[in-house]
A = this chain, B = another copy of it.
Amino acid sequence: MNIPFAFWLVPVASVIALAMAYFFFRQMMSEEEGTEQMRKIALHVRKGAMAYLKQQYKVVGCVFIVIAVIFAFMAYVLKIQNPWVPFAFLTGGLFSALAGFFGMKTATFASARTANAARQGLNRGLKVAFRSGAVMGLVVVGLGLLDIALWFIILGFFYNGSQMALVTITTTMLTFGMGASTQALFARVGGGIYTKAADVGADLVGKVEADIPEDDPRNPATIADNVGDNVGDVAGMGADLYESYCGSILSTAALGATAFAMHGDMQMRAVIAPMIIAAVGIFLSVIGIFLVRTKEDATMRDLLRSLGFGTNVSAVLIAVASFAILYLLEIENWIGLSFSVLTGLVAGVIIGQGTEYYTSQSYKPTQDIAASSQTGPATVIIKGIGTGMISTMIPVVTISAAILLSYMCANHFDLSMNAKSISMGLYGIGIAAVGMLSTLGITLATDAYGPIADNAGGNAEMSELGEEIRKRTDALDALGNTTAATGKGFAIGSAALTALALLASYVEEIKIAMIRAVDEGQTYINQAGEIFNPATADITDFMNFYQVTLMNPKVLIGAFIGGMAAFLFCGLTMGAVGRAAQSMVEEVRRQFREIAGILEGKGTPDYGRCVEISTRSAQREMIFPSLLAIIIPIAVGMLLGVAGVMGLLVGGLTSGFTLAVFMANSGGAWDNAKKMVEEGNFGGKGSKCHKATIVGDTVGDPFKDTSGPSLNILIKLMSMVSIVMAGLTIMF
């Protein structure tokens, strides 16, 4: 297959990303790690985190082998699957795991170094923490693009240049997305349960019962809590965004192959366009990363502006670059498609701003939650849930507008709905998602920076570095909470757009599976009693053939089950956190009771036991909900066919998206309402109001860090599984 010269930008960018990541890593490692005590604590956390990751990868590895064997059986024995699928699936999982591993390794090395750098000044602290976060960001995008480039080159060798070749190649590559999704779900769920079991457990006994501050070394769960920040927030989030990043690029490439199937050479250029936008995004992210710096006596506002400057410059540059890229690739309607990219970028920013409004203590919603603590914990919960539910409006309306606009822009600003315009419109929606995620290198850096600063604060507290240093790490930490809100906007917005693109890829994969079946002698008869030829059918024909309309009870049932799946999944993960936290609470209580002098700081708490409890709970509890996400779409496919699966995916997407926003925002708002009280409002630390907001924060922990973010992945994993299992579905 003739791969255009421009494509080589993709592997080059991925190598540069990895090289820059290595450069920042070495730079960070050359920093001092601080006092004996600081090094010791960092070592504890690092060992705990690595032990967890090892255990996690062992379990997930087994799951991967089982699934890969099933795929191999489907491909080589049943012959209802592309033969490359088992390998693509495995590499997706492997690269995602690698991204998590490198990111976490960096983060655990960086925390003590950040705390130590903060001793010399705020700017030094920011620089170390942020550059370490950048390692994570660059590793994720670098590995993602590398895997995409490698598979594209390999598959390009084996398929020659017919129209169908690119469609087959791109949909095969999507299965590597399923590997990434599966790995991400386990990482998010396992990490989420781990971190929140430790966090909730530590808070419940430490802050509420024993009245000792956060990260106090007397609390046996502190180390586990700090390990949790790394395994949940760094490794989990890395895997999550790796999956979003690859998913959006791959599904858009697949949509490009379909939409431009009749356009000769332009088909190839449409396929590589999203990859090249992502590649250019890497260069711009690196520029943005270098722009982040601040002056020594920086206020919170300065810090925020400094991070914002880096991200915004990258975003503006990528918007401009998209016009250039699509123009140079000579894609039809390049202006319209560039506006689609712009739509995605703007939507991400609006969702981020909305998230900030509903979760930051600078605005009324969170302030009201803090105020409701005057009437006790119950009103804090009621208010927080109410606020979270109301906060779904902005993201849903924004995403709806983005879908409509990127569809229209991709169709010369027209909203017609024939088969051709639907294909083009979907490509536009996909490329909007790519636009949103193109600057992931830097947005993820600002995200991953948060837990590093958080851990640095923990290290400073446990090493008793004194008020001044703690204040600096606190400033860095608070900053991380705000940037996380923006990052979440991009993550969730891109998840919705990507899921839509995957829905279209599903139809494409059904088409391929049916063509394969026809080649083997199967005949399909449509409603009118005529022979249905999948090879010549367009997207509208498939909708008619399978009657994927809203009057088909199978579609409606699928939608019901999809909506339920989101709730069930959240319920299971919430329950898991509740159970795990309870065993943690009991353990901490036992240590307070049985270890003499522990509360006076004389006895040494058994940190290891708490780490073990978190690890064990997380491993035990993550299996069932994660497998459910894989099993539900397969079962629906076998029982209700294509119509049922599409209903399932739409139901899961709409309910899941809204539920995810609700949970993330309620959790964020509770967290900041507590911080607001801690800053001296409504009685300040130790008051009744403070205790009430701690209840809110504790409930919010699994909302925002376990169940909510896992939904992003659930939505896409269900689509990925459906795509990969298309061959099976059409047999029923």
Contact = CB atoms under 8 A, between A and B. Distances in A.
B550 A646 contact: yes
Contacts of A564: 392-393, 396-397, 658
Interface stretch (A115-123, A286-294, A400-408): A400-408
A375 B548 contact: no
A543 B544 CA distance: 10
Interface in A493-533: 500, 503-504, 507, 527
B695 A578 contact: no
B650 A400 contact: no
B200 A403 contact: no
A453 to B, nearest CB: 25
A646 B556 CA distance: 11
A129 interface: no
Contact of A507 (B507, B551, B559): B551
A420 B507 CA distance: 27
Given A393-B568, A396-B563, A382 B662 contact: no
A403 B567 contact: no
A552 interface: yes
Contacts of A386: 570-575, 578
B699 A422 contact: no
A729 B355 CA distance: 33
A702 interface: yes
Interface in A552-566: 552-557, 559-564, 566
B572 A390 contact: yes
A182 interface: no
A269 interface: no
Contacts of A654: 556, 559-560, 562-563, 651, 654-655
A418 interface: yes
A192 to B, nearest CB: 13
Contacts of A557: 400, 403-404
Given A375-B204, A417-B547, A571-B389, A578 B650 contact: no
A372 interface: yes
A382 B563 contact: no
Interface in A613-665: 646-647, 650-651, 654-655, 657-659, 662
B702 A382 contact: yes
A17 interface: no
Contact of A382 (B376, B378, B548, B699): B699
Interface in A357-407: 372, 375-379, 381-383, 385-393, 396-397, 399-400, 403-404, 407
A500 B556 contact: yes
A230 interface: no
A310 interface: no
A549 interface: yes
Contacts of A155: none
Interface in A580-599: 581-582, 585-586
A208 B688 CA distance: 13
A425 B553 contact: yes
A397 B382 CA distance: 29
Contacts of A429: 553
Interface centre among A381, A407, A662, A702 (most CB of B within 10 A): A381
A582 B377 contact: no
A386 B647 CA distance: 25
A543 B553 contact: no
Contacts of A651: 559, 654
Contacts of A562: 654
Contacts of A397: 561, 564
A389 B570 contact: yes
Contacts of A657: 560, 563
Nearest to A378: B698
B575 A390 contact: yes
A577 interface: yes
B204 A581 contact: no
Nearest to A581: B379
Nearest to A528: B418
B553 A550 contact: no
A550 B544 contact: no
A50 interface: no
A404 B553 contact: yes
A242 B390 CA distance: 29
Contacts of A559: 559, 650-651, 654
A650 B390 contact: no
Q: Which 9 A-B pairs have the closest CB atoms?
A: A389-B571, A386-B574, A378-B698, A390-B571, A386-B575, A396-B564, A543-B549, A563-B654, A400-B557
18 contacts: A372-B578, A377-B695, A378-B694, A382-B702, A383-B578, A386-B578, A389-B571, A393-B568, A396-B560, A403-B557, A426-B551, A504-B551, A550-B650, A559-B650, A559-B651, A560-B654, A560-B658, A655-B658
Given A379-B581, A389-B571, 10 more contacts: A377-B378, A382-B577, A382-B702, A386-B574, A386-B578, A390-B575, A396-B560, A549-B549, A559-B559, A567-B662
